[in-house]
Amino acid sequence: MAVSRVPRVVHISSDTGLFGGKDRVLLWLLSRLSERNLADPRFVCFKDGIVANHYRNAGISVEQLTMKGPFDIAAVPRLISLLRDCNADLIHTHDHKSHVLARLSKLRVNLPVVSTLHGLLSDAKEIPWNRRFLYGIIVKSTDHLTDHWIAVSQPLFERLGPERSDVSLVPNAVDAQLVRDDGDDHDLPQEDGPVILCLGRLSHEKGQDILLESMKSVFSRYPDTVLWLAGEGPLRGSLYRQAASLMISDRVRFLGFREAVSPLLRAATILVLPSRNEGTPISVLEAMCMGVPVVSTRVGGVPHLIPKPEIGMVVPPENPTALTDALLTILGDHESARRIGNAGRIHVERHHSLDLMAEHTAEIYRKCLSGSV
């Protein structure tokens, strides 16, 4: 299917109700593809909410595909009609629900389908296990209808199969300028000492309970330090009680969900990621982009984002002592912290450039449309 003009690519993704890391990266990618005339992107979502508004504000065309249930088979003909109306050349999907709908639509419209794997369904613990099991069966049964896979991290690439010709590794990237200029947040606390920042949903897999255990020793050594927990989730109450039982409540700030990340990072001395499991945490790239030293557990794609200690500190998961030692090391050596932050910034600019991500993605589109993949 040769296309002589700039290809019109319909991107489909769910709206979780929060404008999270995956959403930011996808918006940056679509904007860069459009700016560089590499593709004419359109965005399709399942509800008109916060994510759709961000795309509209960025000048991306948005369409809503209403879903009447977790998997509404009647949405397939509606998607087919939408694809025909906008004269689409290719479909690019970004989650399990959109993978399935696009693949079933392909049976009628015969458009190439590119599916990006941002994470594993088995890690989506917010979805009940029985629904995850059902989704897994449906997704697996339609996998053969995807023309090309994109993995956003090395572990996901290896999971899909690096020997396969229909799989490409396109690492997540950040828009450095937007990250650095992402507005202000005048509602943030004004602190007198170092700020340790933890960004993420307040849930078991994010490991904030382990972080709180480690902070008692950190506060003992550096009593003017504070911990900012930015995020919402089911464990907010239990984390609040844990901080009280550890008698560190006066040094822990529960900031809630914050849409603008840059103001948090500008105030931060360290970004800490104490997760039990992760995909490719965008917050790590954003912090490195801002020159903020990162302490993270060795989970998911983190070792590939921080491949050597000179650009960040990586510790075993579920190990409060190791987490404490890493935080104390950075707090106790300002010059080392500065070097790590600067090295992280350079690493992101070289290996996680948004221009590079856009070029690789556009090349996959060209191959799919020319039939060479």
Q: So where are the chain's domains?
A: 8-173+353-370, 179-351
As its CATH architecture, domain 179-351 has 3-Layer(aba) Sandwich (3.40)
CA 308 to CA 312: how far, in whole Å? Answer: 7
- Mean local confidence (pLDDT), 332-345: 95
Helix (H, G, I), strand (E, B), or coil: what is residue 152?
A: coil
The 8-class DSSP code of residue 313 comes to E
Phi, psi of 254 (to 5 degrees): -95, 105
Question: Does residue 2 register a pLDDT over 70?
Answer: no
Tell me the CB-side half-sphere exposure of residue 189, using CA atoms within 13 A. Answer: 21
Long-range contacts of 136-142 (CB under 8 A, 24+ apart): 138/71, 138/100, 139/96, 139/99, 139/100, 142/99, 142/100, 142/103, 142/104
Instruction: Note the pLDDT tens digit of each residue in 24-34.
Output: 899 999 999 99
Instruction: Note the pLDDT tens digit of each residue in 99-111.
Output: 999 999 999 999 9
* Predicted pLDDT of residue 177: 83
- Mean local confidence (pLDDT), 236-251: 97
As its CATH architecture, domain 8-173+353-370 has 3-Layer(aba) Sandwich (3.40)
Q: Give the contacts of 163 (CB within 8 A, at least 6 positions apart).
A: none
- Mean local confidence (pLDDT), 296-306: 92
User: In CATH terms, are 8-173+353-370 and 179-351 the same topology?
Assistant: yes
Tell me which H or E stretch contains 195.
Answer: strand 195-199
| pTM recorded for the entire structure | 0.86
Taken as a whole, the chain contains a residue count of 373
Question: Does residue 74 register a pLDDT over 70?
Answer: yes
Mean per-residue pLDDT over the chain, rounded: 90
Instruction: Note the pLDDT tens digit of each residue in 139-148.
Output: 788 889 999 9
Question: Does residue 191 register a pLDDT over 80?
Answer: yes
